[in-house]
Every structure is written in structure tokens, then in C-alpha cells.
Structure 1
């Protein structure tokens, strides 16, 4: 895996940034053992989630836990692919989606349906940002969290709670 630069990390995962692409860091576990990891952004033709499903996902991972640390919550298009194609074809995959910011084209109804189908959806905590920094970023510099990281976590967690529990 080629590590990302600190600039890429801060520009995509930064809480006050509005990058034109989604960045996705992934980890694949068989039982408790990490067997694969990587990161990438959208292409001009496909969203990061589509790239993972179409190019990165391997048949050997069909009975694994997959963790996505993504800069934006999945859009409705990507959630519909997950709901209608990926999850039905891979019923033994245990998918965790951990996101930093809410994308404007993320439907609470689709988030609720993903959750109802067993996908674990969470907001990135300060520890998640630190994990991604330590695992995916090429630098000796320590991670410097955003000043409003805890406030963002609370705000986005409240949005996610309303999405999953139907309190629009």
C-alpha cells in the first residue's frame, strides 16, 4: 500500500473542508486478523464505494468483516448499490461504515435501511482519525486534531441517531 500524504488526509477528512471526492480507507478482517488494507478516492467515473465494490473487493473476502473509514457518508446512489447488489450477493460480509462528515445527498431512509440490514454505521471518533493517520499517512508528524472535532462528533452522531431511529 502506498501511504497518503498528510495534505491528502487533512484535505479530505478535514471537518471544514469540502473536497470534490470521497476518500476511503479500508480494512478487511478474517476473524480478528487484518488481512488487507488500502485507501483511494473516487475516479472520474465512479464513487469510492463503487471502486471498492468493483475493483478492490475480492471473492476471498466474502466471509469477512470490512471496515470503511470514509470522508463523507455514502450518497444515495452508493447506498442503493450496497442495498440492492453488494449485500444480497455477499450475505456473510460484515460491513462497518465509519464516516467523518454527512454528505448532502445522503438519505436518512437509506441509512436506516443499511442499519436494519446489519451494516454498522458510525461517525469517526477522534480515535478513528488517529488510527487512520497512524496506519495510512506517511509522516513522522503527530496527528493534530481539528479544534471542533468533539463538537463535530456530537453533531454528526445526533444526525446519525435521527437517521437510524427515524426521528427526521
Structure 2
């Protein structure tokens, strides 16, 4: 895996940025053992989630736990792919989606459907950003959090809470 630069990390995961693409860091575990990791972004034709499913996902991972640390919450298009294709074909996969920012085209109803299907969905916290920094970024300096990280977390958390528990 080629590590990403600090600039790339901050430009995608930064809370005051609006990158044109989603970035996705992933970890695949078999029981407690990390067996694969990497990071990717959108292509001209596919969203990062589609790239993972189509190019990175391996048959050997069909009974694994997968963590996605993504810069944006998944859009409805990607959630529909997860709900209608990926999860039904891989019922033994446990998927965790940890997102940095709420994407405007993420519907609460699809978030709730993913949760009902067993997908664990969370907002990134400082330890999550730190994990991504330490595992995926080539940097000699430590991770410096954004000033409004807690405010973003609270806003995204309440949006996610409303989505998961049907409060609109």
C-alpha cells in the first residue's frame, strides 16, 4: 500500500473541506487478525464504495469484518448497492462504516435500512482520525485535529441518531 500524504488526508477528511471525491480507508479482519488494509478514492466512473466492492473485495473476505473510514457518509446510490447487492451476496460480512462528514445525498431511510441489515454506522471521533493518520498517512508530524471537530461530531451524531431511530 502506498501511504497518502498529509495534504491528501486533510483535504479529504478535513471538516472544512469539500473535496470532489470520497476517500475510503479500509481494514479487513478475520477474527481479531488484520488481514488486509488500504485506501482508495473515487474514479471517474465509480464512487469509492463501488471501487472497494468491485476491485478490492476478495472472495476470501466473505466471512470477515470490514471497517470503512470514509470522508463522507455514503450516498443513496452506494447504500442501494450495499443493500441490494453486496450484503445479500455476502451475508457473513460484518461491515462498519465510520464517516467524517455527513453527505447531503445520504438519506436517513437508507442509513436506517443499513443498520437493520447489521451494518454498524458511526461518526468519526478523534481516535478514528488518529487511527487513519497513523495507519495510512506518511507523515513525521503528529495528527493535528480541527478546531471544530467536536461541533462536527455533535451535528453528524444527531443526524445519524435521527436516521437510526426514526426521528425526523
**TM-score computed with the length of structure 2 as normaliser:** 0.99
Residue of structure 2 in register with 1:21 after alignment: 21
Structure 2 residue ranges without an equivalent (≥5): none
Residue of structure 1 in register with 2:136 after alignment: 136
CA offsets per residue over residues 80-127 of structure 1, 9 Å max, x none? 000000000000000000000011110000000000110000000000
Which SS does the other structure have where 1:134 is aligned? Answer: helix
Residue of structure 1 in register with 2:150 after alignment: 150
How far does residue 41 in structure 1 lie from its aligned partner after superposition?
Answer: 0.5
In 1, Cα distance between the equivalents of 2:121 and 2:32?
19
Residue of structure 1 in register with 2:113 after alignment: 113
Residue of structure 1 in register with 2:52 after alignment: 52
In 2, Cα distance between the equivalents of 1:140 and 1:134?
10
Residue of structure 1 in register with 2:83 after alignment: 83
How far does residue 48 in structure 1 lie from its aligned partner after superposition?
Answer: 0.2
Instruction: State whether structure 2 residue 94 is matched by structure 1 residue 94.
Output: yes
How far does residue 71 in structure 1 lie from its aligned partner after superposition?
Answer: 0.1
Which SS does the other structure have where 1:104 is aligned? Answer: coil
Residue of structure 2 in register with 1:167 after alignment: 167
In 2, Cα distance between the equivalents of 1:97 and 1:149?
18
* RMSD of Structure 2 on Structure 1 (CA): 0.4
Residue of structure 2 in register with 1:73 after alignment: 73
Give the 4+ runs in structure 1 shifted more than 6 A: none
How many residues end up aligned between the 2 structures?
Answer: 168
In 1, Cα distance between the equivalents of 2:8 and 2:143?
13
In 2, Cα distance between the equivalents of 1:124 and 1:143?
14
CA offsets per residue over residues 122-143 of structure 1, 9 Å max, x none? 0000000000000000011000
Residue of structure 2 in register with 1:31 after alignment: 31
Instruction: State whether structure 2 residue 5 is matched by structure 1 residue 5.
Output: yes
How far does residue 158 in structure 1 lie from its aligned partner after superposition?
Answer: 0.6
How far does residue 150 in structure 1 lie from its aligned partner after superposition?
Answer: 1.0
CA offsets per residue over residues 9-46 of structure 1, 9 Å max, x none? 00000001000000000000000110000001000000
